[in-house]
Amino acid sequence: MRSKPSSLTLVTVTGINIGRLLGGTLIVESIFALPGIGRLLVGAIYTRDLVILQGVVLLVACGFVIVNFIVDMLYAVLDPRIRHGHA
């Protein structure tokens, strides 16, 4: 499969935007009073509930890692010259 030159840039920008969407949930849910993970995080900060705070931060961090991993794997699919595991 042959990819277009802009495919890798598109995948990179999409991965960054998904990361921004994960981070932006805190702001959007706080402003519009929507129930969700951002509001849960703010509530845990105000009540000093460290277990919930650690859980939410761990969930968001895992989301970032998974998105970046998927982007890296898509590089190898889109461009066969890019292979992982070879030094």
Task: Indicate whether this model's pTM tops 0.85.
Answer: no
Sign of the torsion angle spanned by Cα atoms 34, 40, 44, 45: negative
pLDDT tens sequence across 18-34: 888 887 887 888 888 88
User: Which stretch of DSSP H or E encloses residue 19?
Assistant: helix 7-32
pLDDT tens sequence across 34-50: 888 888 888 999 999 99
